[in-house]
Amino acid sequence: MSRYRGPRLRITRRLGVLPGLTSKKSKKSTRPGQHGKTNDDNSKKTTEYGVRLEEKQKLKFNYGLTENQLYRYIKEARRRQGVTGLILLQLLEMRLDTICFTLGFARSIGHARQLVNHGHITVNKKVVTIASFQCHLNDIIGVKDKLVSKNLIENNLKNNNVIDLPGHLKLNVPKLEGVVLDYCDRNDVGLQLDELLVIEYYSRR
């Protein structure tokens, strides 16, 4: 299954706020589809499977993952010691495109993926063009030493105006560099979801 490229506001109307997908808000308050209004009136109760599916879809659309990619992250989180749900979120938050978005280099994770693919972003002074690249502690996320790249990121930082940066990241605006200080805490994740329901969804497949 390819990555979703359809209307984003349609997704946010169904799943709620997804900061990594888009910052825009729809003028419509009902869910999409011909039954959207009836669902808002609580005339139809969502099943347990439906609730778990929606939580999984939130994670998938927010981080711009395919079904296979998300399933691989689930399997990796299960292999590691600790709380599986938190480890899953930490793996996703340590992706290069996610870190670029969190630092304010891009307006969405999809936009950050484009910046990485086009060679504007460096990790430890080396250009990395793989958006899913897993960053490590003390990695320095910077900008390619070219005027075009620097102007692009500077404009994005001004427009995004990031005020509350999570504690696991540090941003040096003059140098256009960010440093990964630690793994993120659950409170540092801007997406509102119950990650345990995502784990349950895959455990019942």
Q: Are residues 66 and 129 in the same domain?
A: no
pLDDT digits (tens, 9 = 90+) for 129-165: 999 999 999 999 999 999 999 999 999 998 887 667 8
Tell whether 23 is covered by a domain.
Answer: yes
Q: How many domains does the chain have?
A: 2
The alpha-helical segments, DSSP class H, found in the chain are 8-15, 36-40, 48-63, 67-79, 84-93, 96-103, 109-117, 147-160, 195-203
Q: Are residues 22 and 38 in the same domain?
A: yes
pLDDT digits (tens, 9 = 90+) for 96-119: 999 999 999 999 899 999 999 999
Q: Which of 174, 201, 168, 205 is nearest to 85 (CA)?
A: 201
Residue 161 CB: number of other CB atoms within 10 A? 7
Q: Are residues 83 and 147 in the same domain?
A: no
For the chain, state the CA radius of gyration.
18
Distance in angstroms (rounded) separating the CA atoms of residues 103 and 162: 7
What one-letter code names the amino acid at 17? Answer: V
CATH number at residue 45: 1.10.1050.10
Q: pLDDT band for position 1 (50/70/90)?
A: very low
The predicted pLDDT at position 26 comes to 65
Q: Which of 94, 91, 96, 112 is nearest to 19 (CA)?
A: 112
Distance in angstroms (rounded) separating the CA atoms of residues 88 and 196: 10
Tell whether 2 is covered by a domain.
Answer: no
Q: Are residues 64 and 107 in the same domain?
A: no
Report the pLDDT averaged over residues 6-32: 72
The residue whose two tokens read 């993952």 is 65
Residue 46's domain spans which residues? 8-91+190-203
Q: Are residues 106 and 169 in the same domain?
A: yes
Q: What is the rounded average pLDDT for all residues in the chain?
A: 85
Q: Are residues 14 and 51 in the same domain?
A: yes
Q: Are residues 131 and 194 in the same domain?
A: no
Report the pLDDT averaged over residues 18-33: 70
Q: Which of 27, 74, 32, 28 is nearest to 205 (CA)?
A: 74
Q: Are residues 74 and 125 in the same domain?
A: no
Q: Are residues 29 and 61 in the same domain?
A: yes
Tell whether 3 is covered by a domain.
Answer: no
Q: Are residues 135 and 85 in the same domain?
A: no
CATH number at residue 157: 3.10.290.10
